Amino acid sequence: MSLNSNEQSKMLALKQLNTINNVEGFDPEAFAVEFTDLSTGEKMKRLPVVIQMAWFRLVYPQGKIAVQVSSGKDCFVASARIYANYQDPVECYLAEATASRGVSTTKPSVSPREWAQTAAIGIALRNAGFGLQFAVAGEEVENIPSELPEEIQLTANAMPTSTAEAVSEPAPENSREEEYETVPAELSYDDKLKLAMQTPCPIKKYSGKTLGDLITIDPKALNWVATKFTGAPEITEAAKLICEDAVQKTSA
């Protein structure tokens, strides 16, 4: 079956994209994960963030990923910058990206802060050419698969996803990079309480409800989540915070 001119052009373009950040002996296609677009039914491929990070380290052994995180309205906002060398000035980056994530009803155990960081890092890496040939790259939370070759696992582990200091070697003391790399102070009590209130309830009976809803719907259920639920530490802590806040307001 012969290809028409449009299909031939696409194949040629894809072949050229595959030469970006080429590393001899490393084929990112081998780690791509196939998924189905729920809106179109089309089968596509996506590249896990951890593979992007390993790929980046292979191309830029002295490279750096700088991350900054702040709390927004009902979410966390993360910005990431990709540097070819950890000594590069703060304004001399290869690519940057910003991503925001809030509490997900489909992923209640996922930290929205780490999710935002991972998404920003992945999208920034894609913008730097690490994954442009894939339909989706850098927009989900990924864990390092146990079946990855040991050398890839070590490379990936060398690039932190949940801290602002993605540097293989310490930067000089007079570096300006810390202006961007410093993670803001911990959330205020009110922000923590707001996120806790929006945390999805893990009890099947109250599917679709939040822990904040339980205050009026079923306080005993909220107490159960705070004291006996063991499914996800983040949810338990959120329930405890709500209960403690309710006690403080009652005794005030």
Q: Is the Cβ–Cβ distance between 124 and 95 less than 8 Å?
A: yes
Output 201 or 106, whichever has higher pLDDT: 201
Sheet holding 43-47, edge to edge: 33-36, 43-47, 136-137
pLDDT tens digit string along 159-169?
Answer: 333 333 333 33
List C-alpha distances in Å: 224 to 54, 92, 237.
Answer: 42, 51, 12
Helix (H, G, I), strand (E, B) or coil at 201: coil
The answer to pTM > 0.75 is no
Helix (H, G, I), strand (E, B) or coil at 195: helix
Of 31-40, 85-94, 127-136, give the range with the top mean pLDDT: 85-94
Output 1 or 48, whichever has higher pLDDT: 48
Question: Average of pLDDT values for 148-158?
Answer: 35
Distance (Å, rounded) from C-alpha 61 to C-alpha 172? 17
Q: Is the Cβ–Cβ distance between 121 and 53 less than 8 Å?
A: yes
pLDDT tens digit string along 181-197?
Answer: 333 344 677 778 888 88
Closest CA to 116 of 134, 103, 131, 125: 103
Output 94 or 191, whichever has higher pLDDT: 94
Distance (Å, rounded) from C-alpha 72 to C-alpha 117? 14
pLDDT tens digit string along 36-88?
Answer: 767 777 787 888 888 888 899 999 999 999 999 988 778 899 999 999 998 99
